[in-house]
Amino acid sequence: MKKVLRWIYSRYCLAVFALIFLALTPLFLIFIQKPSWKQYALTLNRWWAVWFFAISRIPVKQVYHQPITGDDPLIFCANHTSFLDIPLIGLNPNRFVFVGKSSIGKVPLFGYIYRKIHITVDRNKLRSKYQTLHSAGEEIDQGRSLVMFPEGGTAKNPPKLSAFKDGPFRIAIEKQIPIVPVTIPYNWIILPSHPSLMVNRRKALIVYHQPVPTQGLDLNDVEALKAKVVMIINKEIQKFHPHGHK
């Protein structure tokens, strides 16, 4: 009986996510027509996340080790274990765009809107990676923050981190802006990265750590900066999963 109820609840959550998107689609299609309207599309993104968690009845706790205020751009650097990570970070009130895999942009309708609002990258193509760095720099110059998953995809053995890519750290150093490490400890349990999309209802937690400054660093410091962010996220994960299990 529990399996049946879990299946019903999982399909309910999926339907909620999809129906909210469809309801907002006309507004998304309007707001992506002009660059000056992009801010409204980003606001819609946040409301999509707010309504999803409220209607699906997934409780959320957001922890900020330091209040993140002001309009100065940041790079939010998060571990990635679940499809749920994106809407959970979407609750963040900061103005930001996601940097995601190019495969997301191929999803019918959703992918078109995603490409217009956010940044996609094909990590197998050097030209795509270069264009991503350029687009990310433009977003920062316009005062927007970035959300990046440096593992390059969902972790293969959560909660253990996969190897981090250099991208977020190179951009942060080149633009001399802080990196905010972000730990998401439970989403791999709530919504495992599996085609069945079965949801285990429990509180979703996201932890925003103190920003790590990059002023005065150069590209020779990429590895040290990366190691520091990995250490911060790993230390937080260990609080909740000291043995690497549920």
pLDDT in tens, 56-75: 999 999 999 998 877 799 99
- Residue 162 is classified by DSSP as P
Domain residue ranges in the chain: 59-240
What per-residue confidence (pLDDT) applies to 126? 77
10-15 CB contacts, 8 Å cutoff, 24+ apart: 10/196, 10/197, 10/198, 10/199, 12/56, 13/56, 13/58, 13/199, 14/197
pLDDT exceeding 90 applies to what percent of the chain?
79
For 153-208, how does the pLDDT look when each residue is reduced to its tens digit (9 = 90+)? 889 899 999 999 999 999 999 999 999 999 999 999 999 987 788 999 999 999 99
Over the chain, what is the mean pLDDT?
A: 93
pLDDT exceeding 70 applies to what percent of the chain?
98
For 120-143, how does the pLDDT look when each residue is reduced to its tens digit (9 = 90+)? 988 778 788 888 889 999 999 999
CA distance 67 to 180: 11
Q: CA 96, 101, 102: angle at the middle one, nearest 5? A: 110
Which strands, in side-by-side order, build the sheet including 179-183?
60-64, 204-208, 179-183, 75-78, 145-148, 96-101, 119-121
3-state secondary structure of 208: strand
What per-residue confidence (pLDDT) applies to 104? 87
CA distance 187 to 179: 22
What per-residue confidence (pLDDT) applies to 244? 60
Angle between helices 126-141 and 167-175 (to 10 degrees): 40
3-state secondary structure of 34: coil
CA distance 202 to 219: 41
Give residue 200's Cα distance to chain centre: 20
CA distance 199 to 192: 8
For 211-222, how does the pLDDT look when each residue is reduced to its tens digit (9 = 90+)? 999 999 999 999
18-29: average pLDDT: 97
> Confidence band (pLDDT; 50, 70, 90) for 237?
very high
What per-residue confidence (pLDDT) applies to 245? 53
Give domain 59-240's CATH superfamily: Glycerol-3-phosphate (1)-acyltransferase (3.40.1130.10)
